[in-house]
Amino acid sequence: MKKLYLITGAAGHLGSALCAELHARGERIRALVLRGEDATFLHRMGAQICFGDVTDASSLAEFFAVPADTQVTVVHCAGVVDIASCNSPAVERVNVGGTKNVMTWCLAKKVHRVVYVCSVHALPDIPKGRVKREPEKFNTSPLVGAYAASKARAAELVLDMAKKDGLPAVVVMPSGIVGPYNGRGNHLVQMVKDYCRGKLPAVVKGGYDFVDVRDVAEGILAAAERGRVGESYLLTGGYHTLKEMAAMLAEITGGRKIGAVPMWMAHLAVPFAERAAKRKGQKPLFTHYALHVVLENGRYSHDKAAIELGYSPRDFYETLQDTVEWLRAEGEIPAKKRPAPKRRRIRAHAPA
């Protein structure tokens, strides 16, 4: 039987990496993109391009039109990541309504497997010193922010459809994605670019769990092949402070070291940063929600994914090196001026 992978949100960072991994494996790919999105990289990966919008169920007909003798795996990556102080109505419309539309089509077409890409933001915070793991049930009440709540609602919708309607679905929850491929619109890749361009004067105290986009792509495909229907899997990497991240970038690029500013000062600067980003047509890096997140407990366990899926994320230093090289090759940051200093590994604070 022929196999076909249907990827929503294919023009995004994770979607691009997923298509690159599938292309390397020789798989057939159909990519859903919005009209106006740049599909150049997807064409290079041999993907068949379909135009559609997950919020418009009727626009997905062509995307889901496949021959009867085809084993279809759907990966639903499409979503709105919004950390701005003012909530956008698109968050609920895309992340929840769009997910419902995609899952309804998956049921109607009796797809072989569907993987919904959720987020660690869908998990409530817990006291520091403890480790976050996959929840038995998603709950929006303790969550902060519209984005986190929308991802939790969508995950619960998917798992309810798996339990009640027989949807062959698995949920994965990546942490802070960084890495090569089309990272435009990714806040963390934007931070790397800003540092390399000399436009990141400082970071804030706090940290996050960072994961390579290629490891997430591999984890998704492993979940499609070996994940248990109705289960969720954390696809995380390791915890680093933002100051450690900046130090690694300084070593990789030969750039200057930058310090961390107090959180109260960062909160005062948020309105100015958001207005400046809006003028430049960019997403703001530091918002009140983003500052809240980097002070949360950022310790996650991906033991379940490691045991059941064979998931094994790479070292974050390697991720940053490859991200910088990709951005240089794409002309998004200046070319390398001098050799990087000898690597000094800064280990992640991963749970045992």
Confidence (pLDDT) at 123: 95
Question: Which residues form the domain of 77?
Answer: 2-183+210-237
Question: Global pTM?
Answer: 0.91
Q: 351 pLDDT exceeds 90?
A: no
Task: Note the pLDDT tens digit of each residue in 164-203.
Answer: 999 999 999 999 999 999 877 788 999 999 999 998 888 9
Task: Note the pLDDT tens digit of each residue in 139-166.
Answer: 888 888 888 999 999 999 999 999 999 9
CA dihedral 257, 260, 265, 271 (to 10 degrees): 70
DSSP 87: P
- Does 263 fall in a domain? no
- Does 188 fall in a domain? no
- Does 247 fall in a domain? no
- How far is it, in rounded angstroms, from Cα 208 to Cα 300? 10
- Does 86 fall in a domain? yes
Q: What DSSP string describes 327-343?
A: HHHTTSSPPP-SPPPPP
- CATH label of the domain that carries residue 94: 3.40.50.720
What's the whole-number mean pLDDT along residues 116-144? 92
- Does 31 fall in a domain? yes
- Does 73 fall in a domain? yes
- Does 21 fall in a domain? yes
- Does 116 fall in a domain? yes
CA angle 23, 29, 34 (to 5 degrees): 115
Q: Provide the domain count of the chain.
A: 1
